[in-house]
Amino acid sequence: MALNRFYLTENSIAQRSGLCIFISHQKRDADTAKKIADYFITSGIDVYFDEYDTKIDRTRPYSVVSAIKTGIRNSTHMLCLLSQNALDSKWIPWEVGYGYDRTTVVGLTLKEISQSVLPEYLQIVPILRGTKSLNNFISNVLKRDESTLINERKLFAAYQSQHPLDSVLNWEL
């Protein structure tokens, strides 16, 4: 069963095998990032999503930085949620820089973003463009056939009506 790794101690993380995706996002995109984090959890992949981390004292920069560093160190992948808000973020470039050699970094564009507006530091990482490419990414990371994951209800088919990410991602990409 997948979960948000905030709930595990450092020792239990070390004992847990498998994948963890650090969700890098701009604060104004927290609701969208939560949908995507929950989609990963449903698929069977652990996440670190700071909005679930109740130990962060957001009034103390050291607490925020420490939590982010721990989340990245305990992750195998980093997913940068790319939106208009993200382009103005001061944290996302820092997170990518810190995690670049520690994780596999990928970007996921929301509906309103085109590849031409991506900052240079993100033009060198794989970019997922929508629901189809996100499902393909999950299938590749899990090393499982996408249709099997859909049949097991760990993924929604990109074309499926009432897809949980329809409001934020292009389904055909």
Residues in CB range of 125: below 8 A, 6 or more apart: 80, 96, 105, 106, 107
User: Given the structure tokens 């949980």, which residue do they identify?
Assistant: 164
Domains annotated for the chain, with CATH where assigned, are: 5-151 (3.40.50.10140)
41-55, 111-125, 156-170, range with greatest mean pLDDT? 41-55
Q: Average pLDDT for residues 60-75, to the nearest whole number? A: 95
Q: 127 pairs with which residues across the strands?
A: 107
The average pLDDT across 42-63 equals 93
Q: What average pLDDT score do residues 33-62 get?
A: 94
CA 15 to chain centre: 22
DSSP 35-73: HHHHHHHHHT-EEE-GGG-TT--TT-HHHHHHHHHHHHH
- SS3 of 122-139: the string is HCCCCEECEHHHHHHHHH
